């Protein structure tokens, strides 16, 4: 059973770009474990099969440790940033293996995600209870392709089962450009009267309700997101652009990122002016909040991590960035009412744009 399964899997994985990795000569279980690997960008995927009918499952821990060490050697050689291991147990999953899986942790040597599957005598794949959320949907695809072992169709793409999202853009050109423009505008403000000078801010296009809507200076819907009041105001927003903006562009794409930044910034500026019509405001807070909302929506829909970010991390970052925005706006003298409006307006806009775009892209 095991040899037939491994032989068919070897053909299918080879057709999908995987390479069979030879186990070292000192393997404690020669012939009973097979290992394949494939590198895709910053991700490395492994398929490992275990012949449970031949392995001593009562002493399974040393076997798994040996496999872990093999994976460690491979990932260190190619400097992988993230790895996903599909552990496929062929044979009867006894209590010893179940216990080990339930107590197992993610590998310590690289951000690694383990997934566990069992194969019965009919070559049908079953996921172990420890398999992550979303596995059931992909499991049917995996069963369908495994049922055609040796056929023309490649095995399920590893990205379908991976807990990590795949980037769609290599270089975040718009994020870098926006960071550069914000720095340039701040320098110009400082050179021509100061970034905390109200008249100078108005001259450069700061947000103000009456000037924008009564005098129809509609460019003020856009220009405030490139102006900042004081160095700390600039520094905090640029920090969040580096943390979230670069990732958002890499995983959502160039044009979606630009659309989210601009629309969220405009919505944030409108909300800010409506909340305080007499105030003069500036800053990228609405646009930055929109980026956070967009990344959160993307992860919510796809159920994927973005590098080392998961939904909990994103929720924490949104709370921290919002709190820091309130502090920075107080230091800049624009007040909490304006900060609240800009942050919430931008956050909501970015969330819903990304939600719609991601659902459309993934046909959800």
| Selected residue with higher pLDDT from 275 and 79 | 275
| Selected residue with higher pLDDT from 271 and 78 | 271
Tokens encoding 149:
């072992």
HSE-CB at 336 with a 13 A cutoff on CA atoms is 2
pLDDT, tens digit (0-9, with 9 covering 90-100), for 65-123: 777 777 777 766 665 566 777 777 777 766 767 766 665 544 333 445 666 666 666 65
| Selected residue with higher pLDDT from 67 and 317 | 317
pLDDT for res 320: 81
Nearest residue to 258 (alpha-carbon basis) of 169, 341, 164: 169
Mean of per-residue pLDDT scores for the chain: 76
Known active-site residue 343:
yes
Domains of the chain from N-terminus onward: 2-161 (3.40.1350), 173-361 (1.20.1540.10)
- Contact, 236 vs 218, CB < 8 A? no
Catalytic position from the list 83, 233, 343, 354: 343
pLDDT for res 262: 95
Tokens encoding 108:
């310590």
Across 46-60, 145-159, 288-302, the highest mean pLDDT is recorded for 288-302
Question: Whole-model pTM?
Answer: 0.59
Nearest residue to 135 (alpha-carbon basis) of 120, 114, 115: 115
**What share of the chain has pLDDT > 90, as a percent?**
29
- Buried-exposed string 128-149: b where 16+ CB fall within 10 A, e elsewhere: beebeeebeebbeebeebbeeb
- Let me know how many helices (H) and strands (E) the chain has, helices first: 14, 6
- Contact, 199 vs 193, CB < 8 A? yes
Catalytic position from the list 195, 236, 264, 285: 285
User: Which of 103-117, 201-215, 321-335, 342-356 shows the lowest mean pLDDT across its residues?
Assistant: 103-117
pLDDT for res 349: 94
Known active-site residue 285:
yes
pLDDT for res 141: 46
Q: Give the helix/strand (H/E) hosting 347.
A: helix 336-361
The edge-to-edge listing of strands for the beta sheet with 112-119 is 19-21, 33-40, 43-51, 82-90, 112-119, 125-127
């Amino acid at each position: 059973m095991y040899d037939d399964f491994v032989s068919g899997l070897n053909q299918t994985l080879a057709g999908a770009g995987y390479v069979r990795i030879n186990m070292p000569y000192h393997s404690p279980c020669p012939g009973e474990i097979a290992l394949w690997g494939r590198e895709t960008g910053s991700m490395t995927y492994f398929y490992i099969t275990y012949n449970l009918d031949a392995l001593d499952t009562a002493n399974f821990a040393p076997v798994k440790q040996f496999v872990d060490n093999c994976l460690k050697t491979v990932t260190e050689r190619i400097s992988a940033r993230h790895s996903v291991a599909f552990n496929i147990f062929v044979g009867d999953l006894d209590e010893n293996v179940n216990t080990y899986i339930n107590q197992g942790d993610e590998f310590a040597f690289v951000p690694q995600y383990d997934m566990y599957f069992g194969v019965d005598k009919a070559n049908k794949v079953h996921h172990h209870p420890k398999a992550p959320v979303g596995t059931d949907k992909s499991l049917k695809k995996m069963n369908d392709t495994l049922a055609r072992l040796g056929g023309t169709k490649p095995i399920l793409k590893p990205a379908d089962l991976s807990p990590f999202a795949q980037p769609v853009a290599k270089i975040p050109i718009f994020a870098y450009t926006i960071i550069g423009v914000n720095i340039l505008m701040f320098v110009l403000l400082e050179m021509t009267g100061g970034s905390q000078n109200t008249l100078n801010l108005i001259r450069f296009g700061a947000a103000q309700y009456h000037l924008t809507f009564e005098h129809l200076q509609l460019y003020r819907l856009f220009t405030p997101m490139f102006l900042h009041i004081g160095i700390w105001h600039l520094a905090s927003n640029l920090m969040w652009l580096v943390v979230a903006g670069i990732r958002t562009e890499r995983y959502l794409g160039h044009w979606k990122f630009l659309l989210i930044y601009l629309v969220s910034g405009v919505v944030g500026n409108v909300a800010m002016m409506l909340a305080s019509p007499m105030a003069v405001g500036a800053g990228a807070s609405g646009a930055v909040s929109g980026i956070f909302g967009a990344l959160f929506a993307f992860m919510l829909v796809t159920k994927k991590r973005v590098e080392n970010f998961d939904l909990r991390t994103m929720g924490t970052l949104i709370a921290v960035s919002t709190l820091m925005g309130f502090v920075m706006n107080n230091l800049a003298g624009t007040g909490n009412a304006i900060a609240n409006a800009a942050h919430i307006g931008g956050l909501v806009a970015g969330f819903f744009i990304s939600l719609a775009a991601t659902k459309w892209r993934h046909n959800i």
